[in-house]
Chains A and B, each alone.
Chain A
């Protein structure tokens, strides 16, 4: 049982991690919280399902196309809604509320474009059967989720810290006026960040869909715990997002298995409250409070 629970917890943690990375990325680049991430994951999973499952296109092409479309959708959302509000001088809370409203609109749009049913996402690895690790049955998609989440974390960290564009993103978040003076196209930078976050959500959605299925509620079900992951890890920190997510995934799964399934959510969200009170900067000391 231990190995099953361990692997299950890691896979679940990496699922949360994909979303938590998006939360953190947008916060890093714009300073705003964006609650559309879970529903972008859902829309991305639906797109992947349409290309791969319904139309039968090769998986790599389906994934790439879905990510490109989600990248453009993310940019469009920023340009049409977020930027408009920011330019009107809206306070941060209004930006957050706008993303919550967008989130509901995305769910309803998904219901109209696809439907409200549960959909099965075909297995990505048709030739690789589930295999045993320590007596536990492991699906190859589970391993893929872990590999992709860890890789995304490392690549995003390198992107943010080792590239010129990454530096521009961080500069835009810290001081938009100064960044502008330095020749950084702040709005374009933020726009691309929203696009990257949406594409990342899509990647997460397509990777976890074979295990969880696809429905309009997929994002809602994952959203809160992903957000908790980002906070516990350190909101805005890429390593924090994944480490926080792995922690949440493992605690949730081990709690259900060894303490009791009635208590698992209680434990996870109690941890979130404790983290916000006693360690608001998260495991990786992110700068989240105005002091």
Chain B
């Protein structure tokens, strides 16, 4: 009996482990080193257009990373179902960069040197784009990155583009709202990744430039932190009118929960991460009274989409994956593939430099984030513009609409 039980347990475990390794290798690639790591999504073989993708499938940012990959895959599938590009089917070569800069460099190297892709959809982590950029630039492959930090597009690279507005455009409107609700002092928490550092710098620089709000303390959160009692207690002890959290979505939920648990009831400000559904899921009511900037906020249902284009995207995403996206990164990668598609169509061939030149001249392309116009910036940026949202009563409101309905919330 004991032996049977043991064998059963071992068998179950081996099966589960075999199952997990099998599924892993078929669903995603890895930049870790083995050539089996690549995954082709879309067309299988033959005369196909090969696009590359790298992002965090595993590691601390895997939650949003997988959503990003799904967005790109969905667009590739739609393209292929519609007959492909220039009559050719499209395949997406996916690499897991594990959310690390070194993983991103490995992935970029593989995409440029081994897979010889025509164009790349880049990670949603700005630090990884920054790390992998030189390799892609020297390889002469156009890359539409999805990270929002402004820094990586300030390197003078000629093959890089962004699929939506950068986080720079959120700083001023967020400051407007901070002042509107009566914030005079603010404590800041900054996660130690490129995107969070950039967005914090933009917002605090704007605060400093205006001179209407004092920053009481600025604390940091390491990627491995699970408890922020020390930092949060210090921040609360300075009695700020508001707290600005520039952190990744994986940290935002538990951090807000702990913040409220320590007795803080005031406004929480932040970047687009605060609008992710998982923040409300984890933090629950603690997420109320959060105000943040974002291009997209995932609605609670398809019907609440802000446009017909978004509604169609959400319907397709739900049909394909069984649920709404949990991060706006899916929008960004979907748009990135759309931009590359337009670039290839305009170029009339799949030569990377020709695609780059064509993307550079894209103007008036309607995507989920708005209208792309690379001609007006000449640095890879294609649009500006974010909106301010507030989480109240367990749901996200466009701040303007909230004010119309409930009036301006104020510091108590």
Whether A224 lies near B233 (C-beta < 8 A) is no
- Shortest CB-to-CB span from A80 to chain B, Å, is 4
The answer for the CA separation of A127 and B282 in the assembled complex, in Å, is 20
Whether A117 lies near B6 (C-beta < 8 A) is no
* Interface presence of B212 (CB below 8 A): no
Given A79-B6, A137-B263, the answer on whether A8 and B227 have CB atoms closer than 8 Å is: yes
Contacts of A113 in B (CB 8 A): 16
Q: Which of A76, A136, A218, A261 contacts B219 (CB 8 A)?
A: A261
State which of A56-64, A103-111, A161-169, A275-283 sits at the interface with chain B: A103-111
Contacts of A262 in B (CB 8 A): 220
- Shortest CB-to-CB span from B246 to chain A, Å, is 13
- Shortest CB-to-CB span from B146 to chain A, Å, is 18
Given A80-B14, A221-B226, the answer on whether A213 and B9 have CB atoms closer than 8 Å is: no
- Shortest CB-to-CB span from A54 to chain B, Å, is 13
State which of B83-91, B251-259, B305-313 sits at the interface with chain A: B251-259
A227-263 CB contact bits vs B (8 Å, 1 = yes)?
A: 0000000000000000000000000111111100110
Q: Secondary structure at chain B's binding surface: helix, strand, loop or mixed?
A: helix
Given A8-B227, A118-B278, A118-B281, the answer on whether A130 and B17 have CB atoms closer than 8 Å is: no
A189-229 CB contact bits vs B (8 Å, 1 = yes)?
A: 00000000000000000000001110111101110100000
- Shortest CB-to-CB span from B259 to chain A, Å, is 11
Whether A256 lies near B282 (C-beta < 8 A) is no
The answer for the CA separation of A106 and B245 in the assembled complex, in Å, is 31
B265-305 CB contact bits vs A (8 Å, 1 = yes)?
A: 00000000000001001111000000000000000000000
Whether A222 lies near B226 (C-beta < 8 A) is yes
Whether A5 lies near B62 (C-beta < 8 A) is no
Among A213, A221, A261: residue with most chain B CB under 10 A: A261
In the complex, what residue of chain B is closest to A105 when comparing beta carbons? Answer: B17
Whether A8 lies near B230 (C-beta < 8 A) is yes
* Interface presence of A15 (CB below 8 A): yes
Whether A76 lies near B6 (C-beta < 8 A) is yes
State which of B18-26, B132-140, B174-182, B359-367 sits at the interface with chain A: B18-26
Whether A109 lies near B222 (C-beta < 8 A) is no
Contacts of A265 in B (CB 8 A): 222, 224
- Shortest CB-to-CB span from B70 to chain A, Å, is 12
A113-146 residues with Cβ-Cβ distance < 8 A to B are: 113, 115-120, 130, 136-137, 139
Contacts of A118 in B (CB 8 A): 63, 249-250, 253-254, 278, 281-282
In the complex, what residue of chain A is closest to B222 when comparing beta carbons? Answer: A265
Whether A1 lies near B278 (C-beta < 8 A) is no
* Interface presence of B13 (CB below 8 A): yes
The answer for the CA separation of A284 and B302 in the assembled complex, in Å, is 59
Q: Which of B63, B227, B261 contacts A12 (CB 8 A)?
A: B227
In the complex, what residue of chain A is closest to B19 when comparing beta carbons? Answer: A112
Whether A4 lies near B226 (C-beta < 8 A) is no
Contacts of B24 in A (CB 8 A): 108, 112
* Interface presence of A73 (CB below 8 A): yes
Given A12-B229, A105-B20, the answer on whether A117 and B9 have CB atoms closer than 8 Å is: no
Q: Secondary structure at chain A's binding surface: helix, strand, loop or mixed?
A: helix
* Interface presence of B101 (CB below 8 A): no
Whether B233 lies near A216 (C-beta < 8 A) is no
* Interface presence of B371 (CB below 8 A): no
The answer for the CA separation of A281 and B236 in the assembled complex, in Å, is 39
In the complex, what residue of chain B is closest to A77 when comparing beta carbons? Answer: B13
Q: Which of A136, A211, A221 contacts B225 (CB 8 A)?
A: A221
Whether B281 lies near A217 (C-beta < 8 A) is no
Whether A5 lies near B233 (C-beta < 8 A) is yes
Whether A215 lies near B20 (C-beta < 8 A) is no
* Interface presence of B403 (CB below 8 A): no
Contacts of B236 in A (CB 8 A): 1, 4
Residues of chain B touching chain A, judged by Cβ–Cβ distance below 8 Å, are: 6, 9-10, 12-14, 16-17, 19-21, 23-24, 58-60, 62-63, 65-66, 219-222, 224-231, 233-234, 236-237, 249-250, 253-254, 257-258, 261-263, 278, 281-284, 326
Residues of chain A touching chain B, judged by Cβ–Cβ distance below 8 Å, are: 1, 4-5, 7-9, 11-12, 15, 72-73, 75-77, 79-80, 105, 107-109, 111-113, 115-120, 130, 136-137, 139, 211-213, 215-218, 220-222, 224, 252-258, 261-262, 264-265
**Other 20 A-B pairs with CB < 8 A, given A73-B9, A120-B282, A255-B230:** A4-B262, A8-B229, A12-B229, A108-B20, A109-B16, A113-B16, A116-B65, A116-B66, A118-B63, A118-B253, A211-B257, A217-B60, A221-B225, A221-B226, A222-B226, A252-B227, A261-B230, A262-B220, A264-B222, A265-B224
Q: Which are the 5 A-B pairs with shortest beta-carbon distances? A: A8-B229, A256-B230, A76-B9, A257-B230, A1-B237
**11 residue pairs A–B, Cβ–Cβ below 8 Å:** A4-B262, A5-B229, A8-B233, A15-B226, A79-B6, A79-B9, A116-B58, A118-B282, A136-B262, A137-B262, A216-B62
